[in-house]
Structure formats: structure tokens, C-alpha cells
Amino acid sequence: MCRDCGCSLGPAAARAPFAAQPATKGHIESIEVITAILDANDRIAAHNRTHFDGHGVLAVNLMSSPGSGKTSLLEATIRALQGELRLAVIEGDLATENDAARIRACGVPAVQITTGNACHLDAQMVHDALQDLPLDGLDVLFVENVGNLVCPASFDLGVHRNLTLLSVPEGDDKPAKYPVMFRGADLALITKVDLLPHIEEFSVERARDSLRQVGFRGDIIELTRRGGPGFEAWLGWLRGEVTARRAAAA
Amino acid sequence: MHELAVCQALIEQVERVARDNAARRILSITVSVGPLSGIEAKLLEHAYPLAAAGTVAEEARLVVVTVPVRVRCRSCRAETEAASNRLLCGSCNDWHVDVIAGEEMLLQRVEIETADEPVH
Ligand SMILES: Nc1nc2c(ncn2[C@@H]2O[C@H](COP(=O)(O)OP(=O)(O)OP(=O)(O)O)[C@@H](O)[C@H]2O)c(=O)[nH]1
Ligand SMILES: [Mg+2]
Ligand SMILES: [Zn+2]
Ligand SMILES: [Zn+2]
Ligand SMILES: [Zn+2]
């Protein structure tokens, strides 16, 4: 049972085997169903949302390919907002506690989910992780998804905002190659722009065009974790979202 | 390979249909998948036998219907097919379009065998 809300969503239940019967002649029926295949995940995601809303917490999911700078951005954000906003992080990785340790070293609570073979987080994993986090008194809960530009796009976690990072060394054609991930984002961050002078092939204009062509309609912020106007714009976006969430909760 | 996780979710739904309808075997499962769902039909077909093994759907045939991406233009109202990474109007090239098909990932139909002729 869920400690936070008393719901019956415990850790994922083991599936009862349902063995096929031996073939004999029977009656054949064709049954129309029409349900979303990930309906169960979607329902847990909606439930996660009630946890966040019940505590007035803004929940933000960060997605990108491995190494685009998700954890670095979180570290820099935590330092910049110290004493202003209370943050916590759920870290998703295939293996290791490295990223959660990096976040804790910045003085912020972090729960590490190690997914083993799963290349994405799902709503149940996030719900499990919520049990180990003090949601009371939090302003923002970040979820750092597994580094992967494909799989996480299909699984709703129940967060309020989805962010996709595209780092300069990856190349400006990534939205065209991974359209589903970028299309579903609410905000796109072009990261590591301090490397632009060294990587002439990367055109910010082409990256922006590519994002438009895959149907991305949100804001695009160019930044480096080292600070500057782009980083300030990111903090401004985050503050605006927190304010909007508080207004919605009040 | 999130297609395995998708197949497992699919099998759980199919098991529920089987239970509700007192099926003893599943003959076929029909799903429809659009490219904007993030699922590859090929990978789904590869992952399916792994997820179905040992379940009531073990011997069932998986039928994947792929749905092309279609957009409706806000400028010229045309409805055209589009590539997932070029969501533009096929008629006037405008990018002010709404996606009207291609995002689905649906279980459509389950064909089952029950033990006896139903009583009328
Ligand atoms: N030049 C430059 N390097 C950066 C920047 N941000 C991150 N990096 C470097 O990029 C590498 C990966 O950064 P991480 O923050 O670990 O990336 P991540 O997305 O969390 O990686 P995974 O969790 O493994 O997917 C590290 O070596 C960082 O130092 C940046 O703004 N500029
Ligand atoms: Mg990381
Ligand atoms: Zn709960
Ligand atoms: Zn995957
Ligand atoms: Zn048009």
C-alpha cells in the first residue's frame, strides 16, 4: 500500500500465470476491445499526478540521450536556487548510484532507481520512488529519466512538464532522427553551447528548424551549465512554472 | 527495447479479456500502432513471443496494423499524410498542422476460443 495516500498501488504485483489449455474444439469469438495498450501505466501516471498536486509540487521529467548534461544541469540549478526553492530528484539509470550521489552532494534529497534492463522509467517506478521522498514542503521534484532518446517517450510518468535536452556534440539533426521524443516535450534545452566554437557543424538555426518540423511547439533555450543568459532564462522558466503551479493549487 | 514492456502490458490486457470471457485460448490479437507512439511494429513483433510465453496467449497470432501519420492543415484545411519528422501540410507546406492519426498504440481486437458452445 502507498504510505503517502493509502492507495493500493504497492510495488508491481507478480503476474499470475495463466497457462493455455490443450486444444480441443471450442467456440470461437472475436471481441472488440479498443484500449490504449499502456492504459495501466497511464492510470498510475494520473495517480502520481494526484500525489504531486496534493503536495503542491511541480514535477519535471528530463529526457535526453546519455551524457547530454541532465545531471550537470540539475547540479548547477540546485546551486543557483539554494535558499530560494526546495528541490528533490528521482534519478533513473540502468545501473549505478552515481547520479543520485552527485545530487546528494549538492545537499538535496535524491532517490536512485536502477532499472536493470529497462531502458526507460515508467509510472510505477516513479510511484515506488515517491515513497522514499518527503514531498511535503517541496517546490520542485525533478525526474532524470534513463539516458535514451527513444524509449522514455512512450511512458507517461504523470509529471507536469517534460523536457528534452539536445547537447551540441550530438549534432543538430537529432530531432529529425528521434522525432517522437522531441515532439512530446514542453521545453527543449540546447545544452553545452560553450562548445559551439569547437563544433562548427552544429547550427542552432538548423536545430530549431528540425524541432519545428517534428511538431515541437514549446520554447527553446540555449544554455551551458556554466551560467550566462541562457541559464538565467532556464531558471526564469522554472520560477514561472513554480508560480503557476502554486496559483493552480491555491 | 521498450517494446518488451509494451508487449507485457498488452498481454496483461489480453489475459483480462480472456478471464472475463472464459476463454481457454487466444487465437489472435490485433493492435494498431502509429509511428508517433514511439513503437516500432517490427520490434513489437520480435518482443511478442517472449512476453506471450507461458500465458493464455502463448499460441496467439499477433496482428500489427500500422497507421500512417496524417495531419490537418490550419491554413488550407487539407488532410494529408506526413513523415514523423516532417509534420507539414502536404498541400501548402505550412507547419501549422494538427496530427489526426499516427499517435495510437491500441489493442483493437482479441479472437478467443471458449470451451463450449455458448448457451442461448
Ligand atoms: N562543455 C560542457 N560540458 C558539459 C556541460 N554539461 C555537462 N557537460 C559534460 O558532459 C558530460 C555528461 O554530463 P552529465 O551531466 O553526466 O550527463 P547526463 O545527461 O546526466 O548523463 P547520463 O545520466 O549518463 O545520461 C560530463 O562530462 C559533463 O561534465 C556543459 O554545459 N558544457
Ligand atoms: Mg545523469
Ligand atoms: Zn499512491
Ligand atoms: Zn528500449
Ligand atoms: Zn495546407
Q: Using a 6 Å cutoff on CB, does residue A61 contact ligand 1? A: no
| A219-222 sheet: strands from edge to edge | A110-114, A87-93, A140-144, A58-63, A161-167, A187-191, A219-222
Whether A6 has a pLDDT exceeding 90, the answer reads no
Q: pLDDT digit string (tens) for A211-229?
A: 999 999 999 999 999 999 9
Answer yes or no: is A16 within a domain: no
**A188/A236 Cα distance (integer angstroms):** 14
Q: Is the pLDDT of residue A150 over 70?
A: yes
Name the stretches of chain B with pLDDT < 70: 1, 116-120
Q: Chain A residue closest to B57 (CA)?
A: A20
**Grid coordinates belonging to A68:** 547530454
Beta-strand pair A219-222/A187-191: parallel
In a domain, A33, yes or no: no
Q: Is residue A161 part of a domain?
A: yes
CATH of the domain at A205: 3.40.50.300
In this predicted structure, the answer to whether residue A42 has a pLDDT above a threshold of 50 is yes
Q: Provide the pLDDT for residue A79.
A: 98
With respect to residue A223, please indicate whether it lies within any of the assigned structural domains: yes
Inter-chain residue contact A215 with B87, CB threshold 8 Å: yes
Q: How far is it, in rounded angstroms, from Cα A125 to Cα B100?
A: 31
Tell me the ipTM for this assembly: 0.91
* CA A45 – CA A125 distance, rounded (Å): 10
Binning pLDDT at 50, 70 and 90, where does residue A250 land?
Answer: confident
Question: How many of the other CB atoms lie within 10 Å of CB of A250?
Answer: 6
* A175 pLDDT higher than 60: yes
- Is residue A92 lining ligand 1, measured as CB closer than 6 Å? no
Contact B99, A216 (CB under 8 A): no
- Asked whether the beta carbons of A216 and A185 are under 8 A apart, the reply is yes
Supply the pLDDT for residue A19.
Answer: 54
Higher model confidence: residue B2 or residue A1?
Answer: B2
pLDDT band at A17 (very low <50, low <70, confident <90, very high): low
pLDDT band at A248 (very low <50, low <70, confident <90, very high): confident
The pLDDT of residue A8: 62
Chain B residues near residue A30 by CB distance under 8 angstroms: 109-112
- Which ligand sits closest to the CA of B90? 5
B108 contacts on A by Cβ (under 8 Å): 32-34
Task: Examine residue A148 and state whether it is found in any structural domain, yes or no.
Answer: yes
* B2-20 and B41-52 helices, crossing angle to 10°: 60
Please judge whether B13 and A37 are an interchain contact, meaning their C-beta atoms are less than 8 angstroms apart: yes
Query: Which three-class secondary structure state does DSSP give residue A165?
Result: strand
Percent with pLDDT over 70 in chain A: 90
Question: What number does the ligand 1 atom closest to the CA of A65 have?
Answer: 25
**Nearest CB to A33 within list B55, B110, B116:** B110
- Asked if residue A4 is part of any domain, the answer here is no
Number of domains in chain A: 1
In this predicted model, what pLDDT tens digit does every residue of A105-147 receive, in sequence order? 999 999 999 998 889 999 999 999 999 999 998 999 999 999 9
pTM for this model (two decimals)? 0.92
Contact with chain B for residue A115, Cβ under 8 A? no
Q: Delineate the domains of chain B, giving CATH numbers in brackets.
A: 3-114 (3.30.2320.80)
Q: For residues A161-176, give the mean pLDDT.
A: 98
Of A110, A165, A119, the C-alpha closest to A142 is A110
Q: Is the pLDDT of residue A4 over 90?
A: no
| pLDDT for residue A179 | 97
Given pLDDT bands bounded at 50, 70 and 90, which one contains residue A14?
very low
Count contacts between A and B (CB, < 8 Å): 142
* Average of per-residue pLDDT values in chain A: 92
Q: Which of A12-16, A169-173, B51-55, B111-115 has the lowest mean pLDDT?
A: A12-16
- CA-nearest residue to B93 within chain A is A213
**A133 in any annotated domain:** yes
> Mutation test of ligand 1: which of A64, A65, A72, A91 has the most ligand atoms closer than 8 Å to its C-beta?
A72
Q: Which residues of B touch A151 (CB under 8 A)?
A: 1-2, 38
Which residue range(s) make up the domain with A223? 38-245
The DSSP secondary structure of B88-114, one letter per residue, reads: --TTT--S-EEEEES--EEEEEEEEEE
- Confidence label for A11 from pLDDT (cuts 50, 70 and 90): low
Would you say residue A20 has pLDDT above 90?
A: no
Any domain includes A62: yes
- B36 contacts on A by Cβ (under 8 Å): 179-180, 183
Res A9: pLDDT: 65
